[in-house]
Structure 1
Amino acid sequence: MITSFVVFLLMFLGIGILSAFKATGKKNDYYLAGRHVAPWLAGLSAVATNNSGFMFIGVIGFTYSTGLAAIWLMVGWILGDFLASLFVHKRLREVSASVNEVSFGGALSRWDGGFQPTFRKIAALITIIFLGAYAAAQFKAGGKALHSLLGWDLQTGAIVGSLIVAVYCLSGGIRASIWTDAAQSIVMIVAMALLLVVTTVHFGGPADAWDQMNEIPGFLSLYPEGSLFQPEWLSFGLFVTGWLFAGLSVIGQPHIMVRFMALDSPEHLSRTRVYYYGWFTVFYAMATMVGLLSRLYITDASGFDAELALPTMAMEMLPPALVGLVLAGIFAATMSTADSLILSCSAAVTHDLFSHRVENIWLIKCATLIVTLLALWIALTDQQSVFRLVIAAWSVLASAFAPLLILKSLGRRIPERLAIAMLLVGVAVDLLWIRAGWNAYIYEGMPGILSGLTVWVSVTWLGRKSAVSY
């Protein structure tokens, strides 16, 4: 088991280090691979980055606890992501190239050819704080996997993952991240498919497994338990719509959108989309099915950490060499996202946070190392679940950036003070929603995004009304 796991880790590390031979030592190459990434690489990298340890650990744990109603996460997430991609991704690629910006916040601040330095700094702070927490969740997911499969201390996996990510990020920057993402995406889907097939056969095939799940009260209900509003159908509708907003929230994630910024041509986005959504749909569907089957295998849900469902099943049902493959798949998922998060944070530090951009490649790599250590520290000290930590970071970033990106992609010019107001109001509403506990019923990014859009509508309407009165 350990041998097969180490072989895969060394493969990922080797691919990342090999990418350094193509590095030019320039910031544009370190953060965007010179904007020469092929469509299939961009697609596989973006989807591996999107799925992360959240899919292996968080989604399967959520499905274990929730039942079939968890399928609405998949439906809403993929649909929302796809709808946003139809009008945002190409425009972002074109604008980032035209203004020669390597960071997500930098592209937003100079979208209309102007310069918004205060907005850029605030955006950088939000990026660093919440992408850092997001990266910590990936290291934490790796720690949980090693703890369950090898009995290691929870902190060990986080340290191992952070060391590997640091080595190949420092070697080849985003090119190392994208190359390893492509390899990791293949290992991830093979590992998930393997566990799905073995588990289904263990329970007598799809029909028998379904009959056994049907015996668990409420497990196959399409309606999630609990209602925030009455009638119940309204609460259910808002639940599903909330996860559609979670998918739309992809456009607010700097670490994913930078993959599309690095694409070799805006005209190749359609091909990239085929790789991205094809892989995404297959993998998410398999993860949901494995989550459902895990409840049959681990029948006593009381006192069990649902986020350990997949590694626990793998350990008990597979031979050691294949357990190593599954463990490598989980680690691949965590690293494919963690490296992207860390590089996006590094870009925010070196190009957005300070008045003068950092151009020296060694200082840029030093910033990458510091961000890695910050994420590791959060992983070792924070007690939240992987699922909640990821969703919280994801939703805050979406509430901050998605409204602006939607409007800018539609050709709306937004003054700096209005952009800042939209960003801060969106983040505040998101955090207050979490604080009130309403995120158990409706994804918190939905009110956050809508509040940012509402600020723009209100200010625009008042401005027009004043102009008419004048």
Structure 2
Amino acid sequence: MITKIIVLAIYVAILFLIGIIASRRVKSMSDYYVGGKNMGFWAVAFSARATGESGWLLIGLTGMGAMAGYSAYWVVIGELLGVFISWQFMAKRFKRLSDGYKAITIPDYLESHFKSSTNSLRIISASALVIFVVIYVASQMDVTGIAFESMLDIDYRIGALIGFVIVLIYIFIGGFVAAVWSDMFQGILMFLGLVLLPIVVWFSMDHGTGITEGLNAIDPSLTQIMGKSDDGLMNLFTLLGFSMIGLGFLGSPQVYVRFMSIKNEKEIDKGKWVALLFTLFTDAAAVTIGILARIYFTTEGQDPEVVLGNGGEDVLSMMTHEFLPTILVAIFIAIVLSAIMSTIDSLLIIASSAITRDFYQKIFRPDLKDEDLTNLSRIVTVIMALAALGIAILLYNLYPDRQVFWIMIFGWSGIAATFCPVIILSLFWKGYSEKGAIASMITGFMSVILFKFVVIDIEGIGIYLKELDVLAPSFALAMIAGYIVSKIFPTKNNDSTLLEAEEKCEE
């Protein structure tokens, strides 16, 4: 226990040091929110991927690999495709437009793009951000508590509180720069830990049988890459649900604010390969860890939920304690915290900017100075973090059998379905209007809630849509709503700034 605490103390000290160094670069509101738009490709790529992955990669996806077997690799395929499309086709266009508008937040970008004469678009986008960000951050704090409980035998509530304090301190000090630099440090830890663990486990296991043979001995359905069910339609919806998680990379604010912050377009070309390799190796490794755990810890007829925890959430803890010495177990605890913290910091800064800049300054106090806004942002960050911590502890007490993977995906889906269709259509369709954007956001926001709590209970189709999950249908409906409303209420003539920015995109 002492070794683990020492390693964690070193990890926390490094984060605080990053925050202190980063604070020296925070001289304006742009520095606090987007690092002065001067970040390098290594930092942005690692930060974007670490933020996009979160604690679900280490706790959720490893568990999914154990429960689903080979079919869980569809998550890897979906994420790779989403990351590739985002960096290859969207990042440069978004960077040019956001720079042309001098935008430092996503609502900034949307209001400038549509030349909005009212605050409707800003209010709706900022409100959606705050609601789903708090839910998503709560799920990350939930995983923090689980990690401390399963890997350190520390009470869940104390663990969640420790994680809350750590991330809040270095965000409070250094803002976006601290978040990106710490994400890079944490992303490197995640990459090395996830890639090396299955290699160590494989060489430590008895190789009397191969992986496929081992899974078949437990449950032959685990080796079915096209799904475990005898119902072909059920398998189709399940695999779509896994692979469509990658849709969330096509415009989610916590990822796209990184594209705002990057130095120039050449850095995007370099960062693309870093992001793709990170995604391929870490996601595939996470699923593989879960599969190896299923072979090692369970036998035919055993309930994996009993052995490996609800949704397989204990997989990583069991594997590290079984195969690694204490010092490496301690490092893995830091890696789990890295995955969680790298998402929490980014989300809190984005939600803080939504309240302080997009609500307070832009609507009520346009005369407010940048330095006053930065201080207010820090206060708002603390309040939202407290709200998320409260929700996490409430979930722990009310729903002890909750599945971490799908709670995280709900928060992720809410953000993605609200913003991704709007970002996509704004980048590639000149006919997209402000009213269409508002329709997309409202439809995506409401559809996530509708599919999660209403549609899945409909007899006949509910069981299929439950496997599909909420993101894909909500995403599709938001795109359709945006198209229809834009045709009914076409866009007005764009101003010279918009036209100039769009012309640059086409060159």
Amino acid at match of 1:286: A
Q: Offset of 1:460 from its aligned partner?
A: 4.7
- Pick which of 454-463 and 350-359 moved more: 454-463
CA contact (8 A) 2:417 2:448 kept: yes
Match of 2:321 in 1: 315
CA contact (8 A) 1:226 1:441 kept: no
| Partner SS, residue 101 of structure 1 | coil
Distance 2:196 2:6 in 1: 18
- Pick which of 325-334 and 189-198 moved more: 189-198
CA contact (8 A) 2:83 2:275 kept: no
CA contact (8 A) 2:79 2:279 kept: no
User: Is residue 388 of structure 2 the alignment partner of residue 375 of structure 1?
Assistant: yes
Q: Offset of 1:143 from its aligned partner?
A: 1.2
1:52 to 44, 51, 54: 54
Distance 2:390 2:119 in 1: 30
Q: Offset of 1:123 from its aligned partner?
A: 1.1
Alignment length (residue pairs): 459
CA contact (8 A) 1:109 1:120 kept: yes
Match of 2:459 in 1: none
User: Is residue 20 of structure 2 the alignment partner of residue 17 of structure 1?
Assistant: yes
**Alignment CA distance shift 1:239-1:302 (3 Å):** closer
Distance 2:206 2:333 in 1: 25
**Alignment CA distance shift 1:80-1:193 (3 Å):** closer
1:419-447 deviation per Cα after TM superposition (whole angstroms, max 9, x unaligned):
22221122222222212335532131111
Q: Offset of 1:226 from its aligned partner?
A: 4.3
User: Is residue 396 of structure 2 the alignment partner of residue 394 of structure 1?
Assistant: no
Amino acid at match of 1:364: S
Distance 2:305 2:191 in 1: 30
For 1:65-464, what aligned pairs fall within 5 Å after superposition?
Answer: 65-205=67-207, 208-217=210-219, 218-226=221-229, 232=232, 234-299=233-298, 300=302, 301-303=304-306, 304-305=309-310, 306-354=312-360, 355=363, 356=365, 359=370, 360=372, 361-382=374-395, 383=399, 384-435=402-453, 436-437=455-456, 438=462, 439-460=465-486
**Alignment CA distance shift 1:246-1:115 (3 Å):** farther
Amino acid at match of 1:13: F
**Alignment CA distance shift 1:127-1:416 (3 Å):** same
1:52-98 deviation per Cα after TM superposition (whole angstroms, max 9, x unaligned):
11100011111111111111111112113322333322222222222
| Partner SS, residue 88 of structure 1 | helix
| Partner SS, residue 87 of structure 1 | helix
**Alignment CA distance shift 1:206-1:243 (3 Å):** farther
**Alignment CA distance shift 1:69-1:18 (3 Å):** same
Amino acid at match of 2:146: K
1:377-410 deviation per Cα after TM superposition (whole angstroms, max 9, x unaligned):
2221124432122111111222111111111101
**Alignment CA distance shift 1:149-1:459 (3 Å):** closer
CA contact (8 A) 1:426 1:448 kept: yes
CA contact (8 A) 1:106 1:351 kept: no
CA RMSD for the aligned pairs? Answer: 2.1
Distance 1:326 1:30 in 2: 30
1:323-357 deviation per Cα after TM superposition (whole angstroms, max 9, x unaligned):
00110100011001110010011011112223135
Amino acid at match of 1:141: V
**Alignment CA distance shift 1:124-1:9 (3 Å):** same
Distance 1:220 1:253 in 2: 33
Q: Offset of 1:449 from its aligned partner?
A: 1.1
Distance 1:331 1:177 in 2: 14
CA contact (8 A) 2:34 2:260 kept: yes
Distance 2:83 2:195 in 1: 23
CA contact (8 A) 2:226 2:239 kept: no
- Pick which of 82-91 and 313-322 moved more: 82-91
**Alignment CA distance shift 1:181-1:417 (3 Å):** same
CA contact (8 A) 2:83 2:276 kept: no
Distance 1:49 1:347 in 2: 17
Match of 1:30 in 2: 32
Q: Offset of 1:40 from its aligned partner?
A: 1.2
CA contact (8 A) 1:128 1:345 kept: yes
Distance 2:376 2:390 in 1: 21
| Partner SS, residue 373 of structure 1 | helix
Amino acid at match of 2:335: G
1:147-197 deviation per Cα after TM superposition (whole angstroms, max 9, x unaligned):
011111111221111111111101110100111111111111222233212
Q: Offset of 1:221 from its aligned partner?
A: 1.2
Distance 1:445 1:79 in 2: 16
| Partner SS, residue 273 of structure 1 | helix
Distance 2:171 2:487 in 1: 46
Distance 1:413 1:23 in 2: 38
1:7 to 6, 10, 15: 10
CA contact (8 A) 1:188 1:332 kept: yes
CA contact (8 A) 2:88 2:272 kept: no
1:210-262 deviation per Cα after TM superposition (whole angstroms, max 9, x unaligned):
421221211111133348xx7x1x54444434444321221332111111110
CA contact (8 A) 2:197 2:289 kept: yes
**Alignment CA distance shift 1:121-1:462 (3 Å):** closer
Distance 1:205 1:43 in 2: 37
- Pick which of 455-464 and 433-442 moved more: 455-464
CA contact (8 A) 2:435 2:485 kept: no
| Partner SS, residue 468 of structure 2 | coil
| Partner SS, residue 22 of structure 1 | coil
CA contact (8 A) 2:132 2:414 kept: yes
| Partner SS, residue 100 of structure 1 | coil
CA contact (8 A) 1:99 1:113 kept: no
